[in-house]
Chains A and B, each alone.
Chain A
């Protein structure tokens, strides 16, 4: 029961590590943002899993139900999702500006151009 009962948390850990690795290892800025999104999504699943009460139903009062899931983590994570959307939007907007300014979105090429700029100063 335990292995299956913890299934959600295994998924959380897997997504968290996959996303985190993508952010660190990829040089492409868009891929970094995608990695960041996966990383954040894992936390959303963590919160949603926390709120589930086994055997519980949706938290709407009815005579048929005896146990309800906890709605609070779901509400909290709704806020975090909005924050995540805003971060992604801002990140992508910055990438567009970087593309206009540098002509590339590969981190190593940007770094090389910056170093050339600094050498000239």
Chain B
């Protein structure tokens, strides 16, 4: 009985819990409740993933209204994978939040903080699971509005301006998506994605449809920080509280990439995207510039958090490059990188959060000599860093491997070279931190630092270990990514 309702519970549980969390007031209660909710949600996502692992799809009709009139939630391998990673990251980040938030956010705001986190979480899951185009917009705004408040909670006053900047750019992006959806609705008279997929091929030459496509691609481009629309991201991640940076870096942009994929290949179809609109000619140059330029900028950052943020822009470039390759291996690489990047950035930002907990800031000079004093934290950072570089036996290697295979399949070796060069650039920016942390002495007069508390270390290491686990044991990720890529390129869901 309950199994039938799993798709809707995935969203309803965190959404309603946010309201309850608001009523719980101060103290540890909101945190305990939010953590419990994140675990329940993670369990639900795993149950859903098991149900669709054979390639079947789940459909849930909200309120029993049949689509295309009612809203339906559809789950296939593609969004099951995204649901698992989003709720998995949440299940790791929430336990971590307690100590970190105690240090970084005023006590009277704790209840509200967890409420906003749960709302953001619910919004992200909703975007992932819904089968209704307008629903995507509404849930996108639920997650975005709570993201703006979360970023503005950072200690530095620049958190306020970065949050405002993100609010302006995010709202423009969301409004573009709204315009696109409105134009599609005007043409087809439906908002259900499966229904749209059936009707769009009949009107493919329509100029309005092409305009809608452009609006939607640019709108999601803003949300997922596609170069050169990434300007909001470095500041937002650098000044947000540590927990928020970790959660957003690992989930928010990934969900936007997912939504873009869904629109490119399911709502519109493969032929329209690649042949009529030739989206690859837009994505490949932008993605290549993003991976090279953002990696170079990352090398010159003084603040490690900001460095990781620029690295995120580069990693998003890899995902878009995968879409631009126009073959199944490329899409598989995109999906794998979507999953793996969440693990590596999650681990890196959580390790950095532990550093911030002990020394109060994250500029690179302050981290001198931390390798001896916080060995476990820095070791986790190194594991995450190796994964970003793409060293074999880490998750990052698997996705880069598929990406390189995809470029070679087309014979586009300059792109292969770009990927390898960007990996070398990643070696440089990760090495800068490693060098400072392990091979320099603590500065004179700096207070002695202890290892981070266990409640911070444990979640960090869960993600660091996941980086290694999914680098060795690739059955789950690769089979889901391949299945999803095949169904995306195979036409209607």
Instruction: Point out residues on A near B: beta carbons under 8 Å.
Output: 20, 23, 29, 32, 36, 39-40, 43, 46-47, 50, 73, 76, 79-80, 83, 86-87, 90-91, 94-95, 97-98, 101-102, 110, 114, 117, 121
Task: Verify A40–B175 contact, CB threshold 8 A.
Answer: yes
Task: Verify B145–A90 contact, CB threshold 8 A.
Answer: yes
Q: Which of the four size classes fits the interface of chain B?
A: 20 to 34
Task: Verify B161–A90 contact, CB threshold 8 A.
Answer: no
User: Cα distance A86–B140 when bound, in Å?
Assistant: 13
Task: Verify B164–A29 contact, CB threshold 8 A.
Answer: yes
CB distance from A5 to the nearest CB of B (A): 14
Known: A32-B168, A97-B160. 8 other contacts (CB 8 A): A29-B164, A43-B175, A43-B182, A46-B179, A76-B185, A87-B145, A94-B167, A117-B158
Task: Verify A40–B171 contact, CB threshold 8 A.
Answer: yes
Residues of B within 8 Å of A95, CB to CB, are 164
B:163-204 near A, CB below 8 Å? 163-164, 167-168, 171-172, 174-175, 178-179, 182, 185-186
Task: Verify A94–B148 contact, CB threshold 8 A.
Answer: yes
Say if the beta carbon of B405 comes within 8 Å of chain A.
Answer: no
Say if the beta carbon of B53 comes within 8 Å of chain A.
Answer: no
CB distance from B63 to the nearest CB of A (A): 15
Interface residues of B: mostly helix, strand, loop or mixed?
helix
Instruction: Point out residues on B near A: beta carbons under 8 Å.
Output: 134, 137-138, 141, 145, 148-149, 152, 157-158, 160-161, 163-164, 167-168, 171-172, 174-175, 178-179, 182, 185-186, 302, 363
Residues of B within 8 Å of A101, CB to CB, are 157, 160
Task: Verify B158–A47 contact, CB threshold 8 A.
Answer: no
Task: Verify A91–B164 contact, CB threshold 8 A.
Answer: yes
Residues of B within 8 Å of A73, CB to CB, are 182, 185
CB distance from B185 to the nearest CB of A (A): 7
| Residue of B152, B168, B302 with highest tally of chain A CB at under 10 A | B168
26 intermolecular pairs with C-beta atoms under 8 Å apart: A20-B172, A23-B172, A29-B164, A36-B168, A39-B172, A43-B182, A73-B185, A76-B185, A83-B141, A87-B141, A87-B145, A90-B148, A91-B167, A91-B168, A94-B152, A94-B160, A94-B163, A94-B164, A94-B167, A95-B164, A98-B164, A102-B157, A114-B161, A117-B158, A121-B302, A121-B363
Q: A40-B175, A98-B161 are in contact. Are A47 and B145 (CB under 8 A)?
A: no
| Residue of A43, A79, A90, A101 with highest tally of chain B CB at under 10 A | A90
Residues of B within 8 Å of A23, CB to CB, are 168, 172
CB distance from A22 to the nearest CB of B (A): 11
User: Cα distance A16–B397 when bound, in Å?
Assistant: 45
User: Cα distance A48–B148 when bound, in Å?
Assistant: 29
User: Cα distance A61–B184 when bound, in Å?
Assistant: 27
Residues of A within 8 Å of B163, CB to CB, are 94
Task: Verify A36–B172 contact, CB threshold 8 A.
Answer: yes
Residues of A within 8 Å of B168, CB to CB, are 23, 32, 36, 91
User: Cα distance A30–B138 when bound, in Å?
Assistant: 25
Task: Verify A86–B145 contact, CB threshold 8 A.
Answer: yes
Residues of B within 8 Å of A79, CB to CB, are 134, 138
